[in-house]
């Protein structure tokens, strides 16, 4: 329940409102390691604490990367931190993307906006054992091209690892040559075998719901589709009750859920 002291080791500006912080433990003894999909609770002095997913590689790192979109009080304080400043960190919490289950299958990753951050560790994990997986696709939707995260890595993912990377924006300027529109339209532009495929989705709830419906249309079974849920979260250890989503606590049963499990709830308003 008590935050551990971490220092900001590096700051990477990702876009006009998003930064990645590299957070290093002050006492670098025994970091527990983490699995792709897990998150930490980050505390800035006197301001507050929020859940933020880990966005870096899960293998061998001695620090945590966190990609934070400045949307409010605490995220603004986090995004304004300077190198060397201290933050409190609790975690890692939560479950993981189905990296093992995806072995010898095609993988479709769908992200909306900041939703690519929690999926990047999953992609890294897949690519670190590239030969174990079939076709890998990344379908990424963003508001504008300025909001695209990690775009400098797209070429490596495409060229070196043969990932089918497709990007779409909601609003495009004249120079934009790519797709415009909702991310679901990209599903038909990549090849995967729906009978032997795992999908991982992270983005706004509405985007995940439509993406899952579209993937089912395309032939995926509901239990092969995974997504992360977001709710208010105070404790991250199952005590505060805030992150309940139907029968689940997002902090300890999630944040990753299979679609078949949460379908009745994700399609109910205000649950």
Partner 1 sequence: MNKPGVIDREGLNRLIQTLIGRGYQVVGPTVRDEAIVYDNVFSIEDLPAGWTDEQEGGTYRLKKRSDDALFGYTLGPHSWKRFLHPPERRLWQAQKDSLDFDIVPEQPDNTKYAFLGMRSCELHAIAIQDKVFIQSPHTDLHYQSLRQNALFVAVNCGQAGNTCFCVSMQTGPKVEAGYDLVLTEILDDSHHSFLIEAGSEAGKNILEEVKAGPAGAGEIKKAEEIVTNTAKQMGRAMETGNIKELLYENLEHPAWGEIAERCLSCANCTMVCPTCFCSTVEDVTDVAGDHAERWQKWDSCFTMDFSSIHGGAVRNSTQSRYRQWMTHKLASWQDQFDTSGCVGCGRCITWCPVGIDLTREVAVIRESTTCQEENFSGSEAQNENS
Task: Kindly give, in sequence order, each residue whose CB lies less than 8 Å from that of residue 175, ignoring residues fewer than 6 positions away.
Answer: none
- Contact at 8 Å (CB) between 101 and 88? no
CA angle 159, 160, 161 (to 5 degrees): 100
Planar angle of CA 264, 239, 20, nearest 5 degrees = 80
CA separation for the pair 35, 190 (Å, rounded): 27
**Cα torsion through 65, 88, 231, 233, rounded to 10:** 160
Two structure tokens written together for 221: 């079974």
Task: Work out whether 246 is an interface residue with partner 1 (CB under 8 A).
Answer: yes
Applying CB under 6 A, which of residues 21, 41, 50, 125 lies at the interface with ligand FAD? 50
Residue 68 makes contact with ligand FAD by CB under 6 A: yes
Q: Which of residues 3-22 bind partner 1 (CB under 8 A)?
A: 3, 5
What is the per-residue binding string for partner 1 in 183-222, x denoting contact by CB under 8 A?
xx------------------xx-xx--x------------
Residue 44 contacts ligand FAD per CB under 6 A: no
Q: Is 38 in the site for ligand FAD (CB under 6 A)?
A: no
Residue 27 in contact with partner 1, rule: CB under 8 A: no
Of positions 118, 121, 141, 203, contacts ligand FAD by CB under 6 A? 118
What Å distances lie between residue 96 and 52, 201, 226, CA to CA?
Answer: 14, 13, 10
- Selection from partner 1, ligand FAD, none that 53 binds (CB < 5 to 8 A by kind) is ligand FAD
Q: Which residues inside 180-209 make contact with ligand FAD, applying CB under 6 A? A: none
8 or 114, CB closer to ligand FAD? 114
User: What is residue 230's three-state secondary structure?
Assistant: coil
In the complex, the smallest distance separating the C-beta of residue 144 from ligand FAD, rounded to whole angstroms, is 17
Residues of this chain that interact with ligand FAD (CB under 6 A) are 39, 48, 50-53, 67-69, 71-75, 114, 117-118, 230-233, 255
């Amino acid at each position: 329940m008590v935050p551990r002291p971490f220092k900001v080791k590096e700051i990477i500006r990702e876009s006009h409102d998003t930064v990645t912080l590299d957070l290093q433990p002050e006492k670098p003894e025994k970091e527990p390691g983490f699995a792709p999909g897990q998150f930490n609770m980050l505390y800035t002095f006197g301001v507050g604490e929020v859940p933020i997913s880990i966005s870096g590689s899960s293998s061998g790192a001695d620090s945590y990367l966190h990609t934070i979109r400045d949307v409010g009080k605490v995220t603004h304080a986090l995004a304004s931190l300077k190198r060397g400043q201290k933050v409190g960190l609790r975690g890692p919490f939560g479950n993981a993307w189905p990296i093992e289950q995806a072995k010898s299958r095609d993988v479709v990753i769908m992200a909306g906006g900041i939703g690519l951050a929690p999926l990047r560790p999953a992609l890294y994990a897949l690519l670190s054992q590239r030969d174990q997986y079939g076709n890998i696709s990344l379908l990424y939707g963003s508001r504008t091209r300025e909001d695209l995260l990690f775009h400098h890595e797209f070429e490596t993912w495409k060229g070196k690892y043969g990932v089918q990377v497709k990007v779409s924006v909601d609003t495009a300027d004249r120079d934009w040559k790519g797709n415009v529109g909702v991310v679901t339209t990209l599903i038909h532009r990549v090849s995967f075998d729906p009978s032997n495929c795992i999908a991982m989705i992270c983005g706004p709830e509405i985007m995940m719901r439509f993406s899952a419906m579209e993937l089912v249309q395309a032939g995926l079974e509901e239990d092969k589709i995974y997504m992360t849920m977001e709710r208010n979260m105070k404790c991250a250890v199952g005590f505060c009750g805030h992150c309940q989503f139907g029968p689940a606590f997002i902090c300890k049963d999630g944040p990753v859920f299979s679609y078949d499990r949460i379908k009745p709830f994700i399609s109910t308003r205000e649950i």
